[in-house]
Amino acid sequence: MIKKILQYPQDKDILLQKSEEVKNIDEIKDLIQDMKDTLNSDPSGAGISAVQIGELKRVCIIKYDNKEYTLINPVITWKRSGANGIKPFKEGCLSAPGVYTIVNRPQKVVCEYLDENGETQKLDQGGWLSAIIQHELDHLEGFCEVFKAVDKQNQ
């Protein structure tokens, strides 16, 4: 079912909260489907985190290169660092439509997570997919760089 995407700053009381670890994947099957339906309803979206539809669970869905990834309890276990490892990415957010900002991020990360079957998976990615992963995991921590740009615009 397509859900309403929370908007910043109107829904900041929820969007700025840290999400909780998922203990039982069977309990979030409907949530995962709702997130997929919601993400697929907006062609501009590359990813969505559960908090963006009001659920404080550590789950995100990413669409990239005709593939869809469901990340449950994702953790970045490695980031490329150093001056040559950081790259500027132009990012937007479904929770702040029409707002874009440049975010300097590690250009490559390794992310470990559980898939929908509870199997441990690993994404070892660079480039744009790396930025999407980092953006969605920021949401799980109650943070989004794009929200800072919204705040600047509203000053």
In angstroms, the CA 46 to CA 132 distance is 7
**Is 68 a catalytic site residue?**
no
Three-state SS string across 83-152, please?
HHHEEEEEECCCCCCCCCEEEEEECEEEEEEECCCCCEEEEEEEHHHHHHHHHHHHHHCCCCHHHHHHHH
CB 112 within 8 A of CB 75: yes
Structure tokens at 150: 């919204």
Check whether the bond before 97 is cis (ω within 30° of 0).
no
Given 116, 136, 141, 145, which residue is catalytic?
A: 136
Helices (H) and strands (E) in the chain, counts: 4, 7
Q: Catalytic residue numbers?
A: 136
